[in-house]
Amino acid sequence: MKTVITVMVFALMLAFTIPASAILGMPETLEGTIKSISGDTLSILSEKEATQQIVEIQINNETKFEETVNSLDNLQIGDLVKVKYTHEGDEKVALSIVKVMAEEIPGTPEVEVLKHL
């Protein structure tokens, strides 16, 4: 009985710390500003619900670049991007990357652009 309770408590703790999409292998979406590019890794500042965090996204040969982005070479620090990614072990691996143009919403600061996606 004690073992069953321990397993249930552990399962509940795990459920609240790991997104269900990571467990099920479903893609997630991240929107933010590129803070650094190092090799095949993008560091993106995500601002979600008044919380800021830097998220590391890995790029591989299967990553699709959409619209105005043909490759990693077309991205630079400060670009606003929308990334669809999946979890592979401890890494977040990009499935697709779209560059968001600030001029899409005239007169709107860059952070506000992301709220309208």
Domain chopping of the chain, boundaries:
25-115
Rounded Cα distance between 43 and 46, Å, is 9
CATH of domain 25-115: 2.40.50.320
- H helix or E strand, kind and range, residue 95: strand 91-100
Q: Which pTM value belongs to this model?
A: 0.66
Cβ partners under 8 Å of residue 81, min gap 6: 31, 32, 33, 34, 42, 44, 75, 97, 98, 99, 100
Report yes or no: 44 and 81 within 8 Å, Cβ to Cβ.
yes
Digit-coded pLDDT (tens) for 23-50: 556 899 999 999 999 999 999 999 877 7
- Average pLDDT in the 74-92 region? 93
